Structure 1
Amino acid sequence: MRLEFDIASGDFSQAGQASSQIKRVLKQLQVNPKVIKRIVVAVYEAEVNVVAHSHGGQIVAEISDNHIEITVKDTGPGIKDIEQAMQAGFSTASKKVRDMGFGAGMGLPNIKKNADDLHIESELGKGTCLKFKNDLNG
């Protein structure tokens, strides 16, 4: 099963829609609630990152019998230093984003914590592609 979601830059009112729809599908597939929670946290963090830091992007979820693979691609500034961005508390969020309660620098660390496997590629001035996978039988 393939689910696709377009994510608009700066539209925090829409952040969470992809993770909510993925959660609904996983519940229908009777995936363990603890597994669902990990996946939903990671997808939500990715959504917020796209909204806060990019010029927009897309989330694609590929669900098989045994696992889910999420691909998040955005256009935008890219990540200058992925290793630094993975550190809890590091943030490049604008004051406006932080004033809305986002941008605490926990997005990528939370994705890593809740994904079984995570890969990030980023090119400055072009964008970022994040892929993560979770076992559905865990």
Structure 2
Amino acid sequence: LCKQHNPEPKLVRRVAVAAYELEMNLVVHSNGGKIYFSLENDTATIEAVDRGPGIADVEQAVEEGYTTATEWVRSLGFGAGMGLPNTKRVADEFTIESSPSGTRVVARIHFPGGEQQ
């Protein structure tokens, strides 16, 4: 990412925030999954796919402060209900597909000068 584009620090932070938040959601809420990162046409894509229980109410899950984290997870300093809202905030495109067999979250961040602005 940085080697190819020499992006502004603010852009690197946005990609890092999205990747971190989606990674933590996999660790805290799922039964395993994968994170994918790709860079095409000046767009960074972070995709998280898990085998968790699914998200019952996607609209509610992207509200700041909403959490289903256990007390134990919160005692570790995680599970404040900011993961999906933070990811949505830093992304130019954000989608969630969820079912009882798992969830797929995609965050795309466009780089200045790319095909999409």
User: How large is the RMSD of aligned CA atoms in angstroms?
Assistant: 1.1
Instruction: Decide whether the 8 Å contact of 2:18 with 2:46 is kept in 1.
Output: no
Identity across the alignment (%): 44
Partner of 2:89: 113
Partner SS state of residue 118, structure 1: strand
Distance 1:85 1:107 in 2: 9
2:108 equivalent to 1:128: no
Partner of 2:69: 93
1:69-88 deviation digits (Å, cap 9, x = unpaired): 12110001110000011110
Partner of 1:37: 13
Partner SS state of residue 43, structure 1: helix
Partner SS state of residue 73, structure 1: strand
Distance 2:84 2:41 in 1: 26
1:35-63 deviation digits (Å, cap 9, x = unpaired): 11111101100000000000111111111
2:53 equivalent to 1:77: yes
Unaligned stretches of 5+ residues in structure 1: 1-25
Q: What TM-score does the superposition give when structure 1 sets the normalisation length?
A: 0.77
Matched pairs, number: 112
